[in-house]
Amino acid sequence: MKIINLLFPALLLFSWQGGAQSPPALHTYSAAKDVVWASPGGFNLTMDIYTPETGKKNYPVLAIFHGGGWLINNKSIMDQMAQYIAEHGEYVVCNINYRLLVDNGNTVTMDQIVEDAFGAVLWIKDNIKKYKGDRKKIAVTGDSAGGHLASMVVVMGNRLSSAGFDAEPPGFKPTYLPRGKTAEKIAKKDGLEVQAAIISYGAFDIYEACLGDFERPSNFFWQMGGAEPRPIFGAPFNVEDNPERYKAVSPIYHLPDAGERKLPPQLLTVGTEDNLTTPESVKMYRDKLQAAGHPVEYWEYEGRPHAFLDSGANPFLGTSFGKDAPEALNRMIAFLDSVFY
């Protein structure tokens, strides 16, 4: 399944300009910006939290993980998406920063990025009441690399270990843990369980991507991130000799049978013209979910390429938030409403 083997140079598209205007807001919201939720190794991780102002005592929560190949971008690329959902839906929206592979001198590993995603969800459950969020009603979403992280929360959120990736088999130690709780205690109580997920043009097979060119000099994303290409788990690991590590961060290899563990309802979206995470790759993941007995919806956005949810305008792809994102976001809000209201 080819999902990110060709991270094409056209994704120099991440120099954004102003785009068309979005539809008028249905209501206002309040925003808490740059809330520090963890500081692994002194590296501050932040999120923006948007709360609708419609008079409700509390709201379901949507956690957003941005895309960018785990190498570029930050939560600002999802600013307009987060604002739109807060203005047009009744959800507390958390727009999240996580570490990138190029951070800390190009030493961050893929398992640490997954642990950031897990930690963010645990922080939200611990703290979102302050922002009128309901900790028992949480959905995760993300696009591209962020879709991968949201999928990891859904599929691998029970694979926790205090030893992290040194465990056998490899596990994850969330970047944030509630006071007095261990990774094992969280896993035993299904503490990372979420109630819904929306995965937009997500990456599901990191193992195959790295068998391709993701870790090689031909991958322009590393250059865009300002770093030399390297193995995503650092030396001495490589995909040929350590397949178990790469498959441990690839949700497609770990879908449980619904009779053993039922996953929450999921909506998978992709543009018909996406040649980075293709409709075929997303449909393959959908089919595996369905075969395992999990509830899943699938939507193709006619005529759209990759990155149709990102803020601003993209002259390379011919997309802009105001022109392209609202139709997709309205479908997402309708899906969330079907789960939570």
CB atoms within 10 A of CB 80: 21
Region 295-300: mean pLDDT is 98
Three-state helix/strand/coil letters over 192-204: CCCCEEEEECCCC
Contacts of 163 (CB under 8 A, 6+ apart): 171, 173
Taken in order of first residue, the domains within the chain and their CATH numbers are 9-340 (3.40.50.1820)
pLDDT over 90 at 8, yes or no: no
Whether the ω angle into residue 236 lies within 30 degrees of 0, i.e. cis, is: yes
pTM (predicted TM-score): 0.95
Distance CA 18, CA 57 (A): 35
Q: Which two tokens mark 291?
A: 């075969």
Distance CA 5, CA 3 (A): 6
Distance CA 184, CA 178 (A): 12
Average pLDDT, the chain: 94
Confidence of residue 23 (pLDDT cuts 50, 70, 90): confident
Region 197-217: mean pLDDT is 97
Distance CA 299, CA 13 (A): 24
Confidence of residue 338 (pLDDT cuts 50, 70, 90): very high
Question: In this predicted structure, what is the pLDDT of residue 233?
Answer: 98
Question: In this predicted structure, what is the pLDDT of residue 18?
Answer: 52
Spell out the long-range contacts of 20-26 with Cβ–Cβ below 8 A and sequence spacing 24 or more: 20/313, 20/320, 20/321, 20/322, 20/323, 21/322, 22/80, 22/84, 22/321, 22/322, 22/325, 22/326, 23/88, 23/326, 25/87, 25/88, 26/87, 26/88
Distance CA 154, CA 149 (A): 9
pLDDT over 50 at 67, yes or no: yes
Question: In this predicted structure, what is the pLDDT of residue 19?
Answer: 54
Tokens 């441990």 label which residue? 248
pLDDT over 50 at 39, yes or no: yes
- As a whole-number percent, the residues of the chain with pLDDT over 70 amount to 94
Alpha-carbon distances of 38 from 134, 165, 188, 212, 219, rounded to whole Å: 21, 19, 23, 33, 30
Confidence of residue 20 (pLDDT cuts 50, 70, 90): low
Higher pLDDT, residue 333 or 19: 333
Question: In this predicted structure, what is the pLDDT of residue 9?
Answer: 38
Furthest-apart CA atoms within the chain: distance in Å:
56
Higher pLDDT, residue 66 or 13: 66
Question: In this predicted structure, what is the pLDDT of residue 218?
Answer: 86
Strands 313-314 and 92-96: unpaired
Higher pLDDT, residue 231 or 8: 231
